[in-house]
Amino acid sequence: MKNGNSFENVKCKKIFSIMSDKKYERMLFRRRFCKRIIFMLVGFSLSFFGSIIMFGELKSPRILQLIELSRCPACYGVSVCPEIYSNQILLESEYSWTRMFNAKNIYYGFTKSNRKVVLKKLSHSWELKEFDSKLCQTWGLKKNCKPTDLLAVKGVDEKIKSLVAYNLSVPETKPRKGLVYCPYSYSIHSLLLPVFSAQQTDYRSDIINIWTMLSINPEPIIIQAIPKSKGWRVPAFGGVCGRVELVAYEGEPLSSLMHVAWSRKLKFAAEILSAAMDFTFKHDRFRFYLMDWSIDNIVANEIDQVTFIDLEDVIVVDKHISPKKNLPHWYKRYSRQINGSGFTFSISDMCKHHLSDHNLWAACYVLVGDENPLLYPMPKHVNVTRPDFAILLDQCLYGSDRFRTVPKLQTVVNDMLADERIVGFGGHR
């Protein structure tokens, strides 16, 4: 029996030893794995912050790091450079951190009078680098050309005309390079006159600046063509310096205001409908059809005034042209006829008619369309007391005559805003 027990004890000890060895190996493996993870994290952190320190990303906030004045005249202009260089415009203190992860190249700051402003580079950094890499080739210059060499190039006017013509003729197969101006490019300089009058340099620099904006982002051109000072719902324009546009901060995006009282949303709706009518009818020569009606790009201030802050994608139609044979339906109105859900439209159809209902439909789509509608859900009290409101909204989205529907809709909205039963419902902000 003793031999049997002894054998069993030896066997158990071996098994226990084997189990202990395996347990030890697992623990050792875990320790090594954790150490490797820690070393990797430490290495990444050192590399990350080392590169930041080396390349100055955490240095004190300096607005001059943004403007890239050395790229002029392949820039937007220099109208606000004196204010920037004299420290009349300061960036927010958190700039040094936001710069590292700012894909949109949008920054916030203040003037000396404590007015909040927005500084926009108007493009992603990689897009600007790609633009610069093709600059010499585009103008037939040497590979190592300098931006100042552009002051001696010829044919800039024709380059501008061909650029906007390209944007109209090749909208599907290749990405557009900026403004869509139609139906003919020869009258583009009529749109550019406010920009020329605002610049403070000579014509050669101005025309290269304009070509650059049309190539990268035409927003500064649009904002000057339809200024806030004349009642347009666009940001107040502060000027440009190098590759930075300065505009006033106009409020919070509607996408962050979806929780507010429905009566306040109704005020936003009135503003949006008015803006749609203005973009379509207000200018004495041009119609401005906005292609991006996202509620991320529509903001409201403390008194519920609405502003459209992203004007990169705009179709400008010259309604005073003499149509050629290729525009047989020019004097007819174009009504959106695209079926299906989603924000879709036809650039070609808009450019073949002197008038389109695109802005009117787009405004109603923001209010009650498929994607995060501003006015839904609608309070029961409103459905009961104003059933005509829902009917008009439906006609605006799916009807055939928005030019009649939207003015009626505006009247109903204004009546509702004057009705205490409606405005009082849901509480005030």
What pTM was estimated for this model as a whole? 0.82
CATH of the domain at 348: 1.10.510
Q: Are the C-beta atoms of 390 and 383 separated by less than 8 Å?
A: yes
- Residue 41: inside a domain: yes
- Residue 69: inside a domain: no
> In 56-172, which ranges are continuous DSSP H helix?
64-67, 81-85, 95-98, 125-133, 135-138, 156-169
Nearest-angstrom CA–CA distance, 340 and 357: 17
- The reported pLDDT for the residue numbered 179 is 83
Distances (CA, A) of 419 to 291, 382, 387: 34, 11, 15
- The reported pLDDT for the residue numbered 101 is 46
- The reported pLDDT for the residue numbered 344 is 78
Q: What is the 3-state secondary structure (H, E, C) of 181-230?
A: EECCHHHHHHHHHHHHHHCCCCHHHHHHHHHHHHHHCCHHHHHHHCCHHH
Torsion of CA 375, 379, 384, 388, to 10 degrees: -10
Q: Are the C-beta atoms of 76 and 220 separated by less than 8 Å?
A: yes
- The reported pLDDT for the residue numbered 164 is 84
Nearest-angstrom CA–CA distance, 25 and 34: 14
- The reported pLDDT for the residue numbered 343 is 75
Q: Which of these three, 32, 55, 78, is where a domain ends?
A: 55
- Residue 45: inside a domain: yes
| DSSP-derived pairing of the beta strands 333-334 and 355-356 | parallel
Q: Are the C-beta atoms of 270 and 300 separated by less than 8 Å?
A: no
Distances (CA, A) of 424 to 156, 370, 413, 418: 58, 27, 14, 10
Q: State both tokens at 205.
A: 């620099």
Note down the domain range covering 39.
1-55
Residue ranges in the chain modelled with pLDDT below 70: 1-61, 93-103, 169-178, 198-201, 338-342, 425-429
- The reported pLDDT for the residue numbered 168 is 72
- Residue 345: inside a domain: yes
- Residue 173: inside a domain: no
Place of tokens 């949109």: 104
Nearest-angstrom CA–CA distance, 321 and 286: 10
How many separate domains does the chain show? 2
| Digit-coded pLDDT (tens) for 21-42 | 555 555 555 555 455 545 444 4
Q: How much is the CA Rg of the chain, to the nearest whole Å?
A: 30
- Residue 75: inside a domain: no
| Digit-coded pLDDT (tens) for 121-180 | 999 999 999 999 999 999 999 999 999 999 999 999 999 998 888 777 665 545 555 688
Taking CA 408 as the corner, what is the angle to CA 402 and CA 411, rounded to the nearest 5 degrees? Answer: 140
Contacts of 39 (CB under 8 A, 6+ apart): none
Q: What percentage of the chain exceeds 90 in pLDDT? A: 65
- The reported pLDDT for the residue numbered 280 is 98
- Residue 277: inside a domain: yes
Nearest-angstrom CA–CA distance, 80 and 59: 24
- Residue 5: inside a domain: yes
Q: What percent of the residues of the chain are helix, what percent strand, and what percent coil, each to the nearest 5?
A: 50, 10, 35
